[in-house]
Chain A
């Protein structure tokens, strides 16, 4: 499968715990995006990488959130001290210079 891969597919955790998600983009796609989607809403932009450089961050990305793309390939999104409001689907997308291709997402549930 050469699509965007995200891991894990589901994550259930207690409030206050830290979680980390991984995204493997389509190889040779230099652009990588993270979005968050809550029930009944469309995805909302969180952050953007071009190669290893994080070029844009949404104000939705509080200090508890951090994203990295250390070698310009896979990316990680970490949420520290999770809160109920963090429950959502976290979507990763990649693209060359063109349409974005989305992964299956990681569904996060906070107990």
Chain B
């Protein structure tokens, strides 16, 4: 079983749609979680951290459910520029702060 699992997509949505991505992680000792965004043939970039209480950054909302070991990302009012791969990331609980990535979920927003 992979440590971080995501639905690979692709999600094809029209502009203005709301889309949600889900992610599960296997290590219950994990403490820190992130969503990264990766454009085609580019490096991953931090989109947002995920906090236990849930957090919002503009059109993006991240949620964490520790009991279910489940993380989500909601994007409201999708823009063409949101088209990218969204990577669910868990900070390794074993120390040294290495990141454990899911395989990513592709999002394509069309006009």
A interface list, Cβ under 8 A from B = 31, 33, 35, 40-45, 48, 50, 55-56, 91, 93, 95, 97, 99-105, 107
Contact = CB atoms under 8 A, between A and B. Distances in A.
A94 to B, nearest CB: 11
A56 B101 contact: no
Interface residues of B, number: 22
B98 interface: yes
A100 B103 contact: no
Among all A-B residue pairs, the 7 with the closest Cβ atoms = A42-B101, A102-B43, A45-B98, A48-B96, A43-B101, A56-B96, A42-B103
B97 interface: yes
B101 A31 contact: no
B101 A44 contact: yes
A99 B98 contact: no
B54 interface: no
